[in-house]
Amino acid sequence: MTGTAAARIDNAALFAVLASLADNKQAMGRRYAYWANGAPALEAAVAAAAMTQDEIGHARTLYPLLEDFAQAATDPRQVAPETRTLRYHLAFLDREFAGWSDFVATNFLLDGALTTFFEAAQHSAYEPLRQRARKIVQEEQVHRAHAEGWVRRLARAGGAVRQALVSSLQRLWEETLCWFGPDDDPVMGQLYRDGFIDAPPAELRSRYLQHVIPLLEGLAIEMPARFDPESKRWLPKQALPWERWEADSRRLRPASYQAPGQALAGGEDQP
């Protein structure tokens, strides 16, 4: 699709989510690449290289879609990864992975969350997303096997290895759950109402928890989620930190973030 001015789609919500998906895939690929020869075993390193290619490939099929939107007209630089200055990936990906457990947690939690979205878009009313979603979901089956296999291995290794995995999962947990947006998120809500995805954000989050919690429970890794017997759905156990949610970039401000002027105002909770 070339996206002539006359044929451009005017849908800010879809544009925003596509940009977030592309940026997260691109950022994951860049982080994965760093571990393509740093994994704990040769086989894992080769798999990391293959997954790097997949993630960057997914990003490269998503960025060109942005050109077809009226929203791209305001700043054409933002539709290509080479010129894009906005980075709408999770804050967790701002920094290098601290260890292999960050790689595993990102693959298991974040990539799994994005796959939950693509699964919900396999019958999308927006054909380019529908086509890409089906292919990505297919390719992600291997990533999921890699993620689950490594979560099992690190968890069963015990000691510091297991501790590192749990720490990585905990650091990524809330931001990943937030990526779907608040239950009344106008962006994901509009995608659902327009038929671009088949579920609203709360349902996506619940589907996602259904994917990840059984494995973690089986490994006795406790994450803050609970099963609601009435709705038969998994839900976050505690309120998510929406006060740090940045709706435009679909990410959380780091907990230590200080709004401009806050320090000068002498916030009480500063040490």
Partner 1 sequence: MKSMSSDPQAPAGAGAEAGLGTDRPRREALNERRVWHVYARRKYDEPLHEIGNVVADDVELARVYARSIYDEFSWIEMVLVPRDCIVTVIAP
178 interacts with partner 1 by CB under 8 A: no
Query: Pairing mode, if any, of strands 251-252 and 225-228?
Result: unpaired
Give the contact letters, 104-143, x = binds to partner 1 (CB under 8 A), - = no: --------------------------------------x-
28 interacts with partner 1 by CB under 8 A: no
Q: Which is nearer to partner 1, 141 or 238 (CB)?
A: 141
Among 1, 7, 46, 263, binds partner 1 (CB under 8 A): 46
161-179: b or e for each residue (b if 16 or more CB lie within 10 Å)? bbebbbbbbeebbbbbbbb
Q: Which is nearer to partner 1, 39 or 225 (CB)?
A: 39
214 interacts with partner 1 by CB under 8 A: no
36 interacts with partner 1 by CB under 8 A: yes
Among 57, 64, 149, 241, binds partner 1 (CB under 8 A): 149
Q: Report the alpha-carbon distance of residue 137 to residue 143 in Å, rounded.
A: 10
* Selected range binding partner 1 among 1-9, 84-92, 158-166, 241-249, rule: CB under 8 A: 158-166
* Residues between 88 and 107 that touch partner 1 (CB under 8 A): 98-101
CB atoms within 10 A of CB 154: 24
Nearest-Å Rg of the Cα atoms of the chain is 19
246: enclosing H helix or E strand: strand 245-246
Q: Report the alpha-carbon distance of residue 183 to residue 173 in Å, rounded.
A: 17
Among 8, 153, 171, 253, binds partner 1 (CB under 8 A): 153
Q: Report the alpha-carbon distance of residue 230 to residue 156 in Å, rounded.
A: 33
Q: Which is nearer to partner 1, 40 or 182 (CB)?
A: 40
87 interacts with partner 1 by CB under 8 A: no
45 interacts with partner 1 by CB under 8 A: yes
Picking from 174, 197, 170, 140, the residue whose alpha carbon sits closest to that of residue 253 is 174
Identify whether the C-beta of residue 169 lies closer than 8 Å to the C-beta of residue 103. no
Q: Which is nearer to partner 1, 17 or 154 (CB)?
A: 154
Q: Report the alpha-carbon distance of residue 119 to residue 125 in Å, rounded.
A: 14
State both tokens at 195. Answer: 């038929």
The residue ranges that bind partner 1 (CB under 8 A) are: 33-47, 49-51, 98-101, 142, 145-146, 148-150, 152-154, 157-161, 163-164
